[in-house]
Structure formats: C-alpha cells, structure tokens
Structure 1
Amino acid sequence: MLFSRAAFSTRVRGVVAVVAACASLAGCASTTDVVAADKPGTYTVAASAAGGRMAWAWARAHEHAVSEARDYCERRGMQSSVTTETVSGVQAMAEHASSVKFECHPKF
C-alpha cells in the first residue's frame, strides 16, 4: 500500500505525538553511585523518579535502587540482600525517592 506524501507526514506526526505522550507519562529516573555505609559490608544507593502517576514514580525509584544494588553485588559474584529502604515524595507529581541499604552475600 502506497501513502501520499501528506498522508505519510500525518502518520509520522501521529507516531511522534504518541511517543512524546508516553515519554511524558514515564518521567525520568536517576540513581546515585553505590557508597559504603556505616557498617562494614553494608552499602547504600538512592534513586529518584519524577513525572507520571505517584505509584509509577515511586515504583520506578524503588526498582532503580534495588536493581542497582543487585547489579553491584552480581558484579562481585554475590547476591544482594536489602536491609532497609527509606522513601520520600508521597505526593502526586512530586519527585519520589528510594534509598536502599543492602549487603552482598555469597551465592548458595
């Protein structure tokens, strides 16, 4: 099926609009570097997310922090164990954050 130039342009603009709308709902997320905590063998990492619905932003922040902890331990041939999590930003359309304290343990 062949499209005219005008029909193709309209179709492309529609696709771009859909992608832009999805991106605005997804928002942005960022993660800090993993740092050593107060207790030996314990580390912390934080993540934040903004945009979209409150539950989605918190879930993205939580998943990014937990994922970074898991990746950190896996790069060392170990598995992560989250000991505590602190969250902030419980209002709609606010930046949501998750700070995770974790340990790396040998894989069994």
Structure 2
Amino acid sequence: MPQSGSLLSNRGRALIAAVVACASLVGCASTTDVVTTDKPGTYTVAASATGGKMAWARAHEHAIGEARDYCERRGMQSSVTTETVSGVAMMTAHASSVNFECHPKF
C-alpha cells in the first residue's frame, strides 16, 4: 500500500505536468511599447503570439488591449484606424500591428 506522502507527490507531479502541457498549447504573446507615428495624434503598437492556430486572435487582442489601456491611462478612449496582421501557419509567430488615436470619452 503506497504511503499518502508519495501518493500526493505523484498527484502533484501529474498536476504540474498537465499545467506545463496546457501552457505549451496556449503559447505566449508579447506586446511592444506604444510609439507615436509621423501623423500627429496617432500611435502604433504591435503584438505577436505563437502556439496554435488561434495565435492571430491572441496577437490581435493584446494589441487592441494595449491601445485601449494607453488611452484609458490618459482618461480617453481608443479608436483603431488601421490594423495589419501577419502569420497564418500553425506554430509560427502571428502578429498584429495597430494604429490608433485617443479621443475624449463621451
């Protein structure tokens, strides 16, 4: 009969292995800093994501979220003017580059 300590240890290892496996399927995403463009009042931010066929959606969400947060920190709301996406193959980097403006909240 196994000792309860070793049983918990095996369960703990199995849980850790499951978490690592799920994390590897989800992939990772990163976002650049927001920078101003040559057009006054317009900013740009880019995001990339890897891991699975929905990586483009994570890249899009990260870029849109960073634009929203940038404007909200200034008491304003974001308005996306253009978005460029790249990457279609599974397990490659997918990217989204968003140009946006900040406008007063109504």
**Shorter-chain TM-score: which interval?**
over 0.9
Unpaired stretches in structure 2, ≥5 consecutive residues: none
Percent identical residues? 75
Hey, what does 2:17 align to over in structure 1? Answer: 17
Secondary structure of residue in 1 paired with 2:30: strand
What TM-score comes out, normalization by structure 1 length?
Answer: 0.93
TM-score calculated relative to the size of structure 2: 0.94
1:15 aligned counterpart, secondary structure: helix
Q: CA deviation at 1:62?
A: 0.4
* 1:92 aligned onto 2:105: no
Q: Which contiguous aligned blocks of 4+ residues in structure 1 show a shift greater than 6 angstroms?
A: none
Q: CA RMSD in A?
A: 1.0
Matched length = 104
SS at match of 2:17: helix
Partner of 1:31: 31
Deviations 1:24-74 (A, max 9, x none): 0111111000011121000000000011x212x111100000000000000
